[in-house]
Structure 1
Amino acid sequence: MIKHIAIVSALVLSANLACASNFYQISPNTRLVGEESVYKLDANGTTTLEYVASEYKLGLSNMIEANPSVDPIVPLKGTQLLIPNRLILPDTVHTGIIVNSAEMRLYYYHNGGVEVFPIGIGQLGKSTPINWVTKVERKRANPTWTPTAATRAEYAAMGEPLPAVVPAGPDNPMGLFAMYVGRLFAIHGTNADFGIGLRVSHGCVRLRNEDNEHLFNIVPVGTRVEFINRPIKYTIDSLGNIYIEVHQPLSRSQSEYENFEKDAPFSFTQEDLAFFKTPGINQDILKQALTERSGRPVLLNPPEF
């Protein structure tokens, strides 16, 4: 009887994961997963990019990159939006949680697949870690928040003084659930209805509340967590197709941050430079991908007729 219940529970979990739009089965033949789609804004109503991003488990930055000509605050009625839910999995171990700050996504590998969530990260000067391996040290429902002295001074200067400890509850900036990684950072929810896909936190990883609660319930203490900063991802599948996915690099100055500069320079790694020389890559397409930074996988060796 117990064995039967366990089997049924596993089947239900698998069915739920299969239905989730952000869960992808992993194939040994490719790191390219997901599919793009199109969302047409109501011709008679008012819809924001944030609303559409939330519906498709994307961050605002993902929508802005894929739809650069669309006003993110008041998009034109009837506009067709590209939903960039096709992506390349980061070239790192497919274990536990991977946080790629550059694309503002969190990956959780489990049950033979991966769930992908949009995140908010640290503001300029209060950065989320970008090259660090740690683990989930502990979890807490209804967390309190103890702001640092610098944070309290910052809020006081804005006319919003903070107590020494912000009590648990819906008004707490950490939301209702928190997973603590290392000693100074956490993966948590929010008390705001915006900010996912943006640099808004004081260094922690912020998720929409429903995503955060879901992760909190399924991620065990001790889970490996890796922070990376890879605005450029690429892969070659088993058929020889070569793909690249390019995101805007994290801003390093106030000017880049405020202006979302499309020409902010990349810091190419040796691996990046070696990949760019891969035989078969159409260099014109590569150059265009690095310029447009659409956050979408681009085929670099299409058939030539």
Structure 2
Amino acid sequence: MPALRVVLQASVALFALAWAAGSAAATFILPPEGTDLVGAPTWMHTRQEDTLLDVARDYSVGYKELTRANPGVDIWLPGRGTRVALPTRYVLPPGPREGIVINLPEYRLYYFPRPAKGETAQVISYPISIGKMDWDTPIGSHRIISKAKDPSWYPPESIRQEHAKRGDILPRVVPPGPENPLGAYAMRLNLTSYLIHGTNNPDGVGMRVTSGCIRMFPEHIEQIFGLVDVGTEVRIISEPIKVGWAADVLYVEVHPPLEEESESQLRMRFTTLLRDAARLHGLEIDWPRADAIFAAATGVPTAVPLRATTVAFQP
């Protein structure tokens, strides 16, 4: 754990959370079906020399999710002793809990390794960067078709042309080394030119800055590279609203949408997901308080205010 930093946990997690600052991603025991929350809220106090970029990497969170969870905290000079909330609690993404699941608005990857006989099922989560505007990361079901250590980068012609407009002439092949933007590890998807890879610019992890690829911290791509087999399914989704249950409490996690989705569309999705989840348990949403959660869009799982369904009296 970084020297002189104080890390606090607000409550005891229902399911185990294990991470080592600056090296490993968050690893959780996978909860049973019907329970959708992992992790626990935590926070730390900064040193004088810290920036939020330092904190993000040290605690395996991305830039966007850290700044959303800490509105008003200065990115470059948070100052000594500033309390910074660490977004280390997550609603699991919807759908099958298998393979790799990437949720674009969350800037986060989830890996569900298949447990060996007698082992406890786990989920491992990593912050990522995704494609910037006009270079979208493709939604859908894919798979890993190859893996490479110390890869060479063959920039597509479209990227070479974009760089040339800025006076940056890219070679046709960038060999392994410190100038290679793929970093030391890359895993290719069954889509032309799309990779899950490392980086020589870790400050950009957790942002919308790539040409469509998934970018990871160097230590994270090294870890997952050793865990994932060729043929692993990769499901890329765009779910700015995640809803899930834990201990009879309904949680919602709200992220700002990508530019392709309007606020009105997002609000409709928010309303539908919460209403349907509450009805299954015979409950109603306290909408004025729920709307405040929507408006804040902190990306942090928040308990949804509920009340028992009111049944009209029939004489």
Show the 5 A alignment for 1:39-58: 39-42=44-47, 45-58=48-61
Specify the SS of the correspondent of 1:33.
strand
CA distance in 2, matches of 1:251, 1:205: 18
The residue number in structure 2 matching 1:142 is 150
What percentage of aligned pairs have identical amino acids?
34
Deviation of the 1:78 alpha carbon = 2.3
- Which string of whole-angstrom CA distances, capped at 9 and with x for unpartnered residues, describes residues 194-229 of structure 1? 111101111000000000011111100011110000
Instruction: Check if 1:275 corresponds to 2:256.
Output: no
Cα contact 1:119–1:196 (8 A) shared by 2: yes
The residue number in structure 2 matching 1:294 is 298
CA distance in 2, matches of 1:174, 1:21: 19
CA distance in 1, matches of 2:211, 2:236: 16
The residue number in structure 1 matching 2:312 is none
CA distance in 1, matches of 2:166, 2:64: 26
Alignment partner for residue 37 of structure 2, among 11, 32, 35?
A: 32
Cα contact 2:174–2:180 (8 A) shared by 1: yes
The residue number in structure 1 matching 2:95 is 92
Alignment partner for residue 67 of structure 2, among 54, 58, 64?
A: 64
- Which string of whole-angstrom CA distances, capped at 9 and with x for unpartnered residues, describes residues 123-166 of structure 1? 11101112x10111111111111112221121122222100111
Instruction: Check if 1:120 corresponds to 2:129.
Output: yes
Alignment partner for residue 204 of structure 1, among 178, 193, 213?
A: 213
The residue number in structure 2 matching 1:5 is none
Q: Quick one: structure 1 residues 243 and 16, their matched pair in 2 at CA, closer, same or farther if it must change by over 3 Å?
A: closer
Deviation of the 1:241 alpha carbon = 1.1
CA distance in 1, matches of 2:189, 2:125: 18
Deviation of the 1:168 alpha carbon = 1.7
CA distance in 2, matches of 1:223, 1:71: 40
Alignment partner for residue 168 of structure 2, among 135, 160, 167?
A: 160
The residue number in structure 2 matching 1:178 is 186
Alignment partner for residue 249 of structure 1, among 249, 257, 262?
A: 257
Cα contact 1:58–1:118 (8 A) shared by 2: yes
* Greater CA drift, 15-24 or 110-119: 15-24
TM-score (norm 2): 0.82
The residue number in structure 2 matching 1:189 is 198
Deviation of the 1:91 alpha carbon = 1.1
Specify the SS of the correspondent of 1:267.
helix
Q: Quick one: structure 1 residues 90 and 269, their matched pair in 2 at CA, closer, same or farther if it must change by over 3 Å?
A: farther
Cα contact 1:242–1:281 (8 A) shared by 2: no
Q: Quick one: structure 1 residues 151 and 191, their matched pair in 2 at CA, closer, same or farther if it must change by over 3 Å?
A: same
Q: Quick one: structure 1 residues 27 and 205, their matched pair in 2 at CA, closer, same or farther if it must change by over 3 Å?
A: same
The residue number in structure 1 matching 2:225 is 216
| AA at the equivalent of 1:166 | V
Show the 5 A alignment for 1:4-43: 22-28=26-32, 29-42=34-47
| AA at the equivalent of 2:218 | N
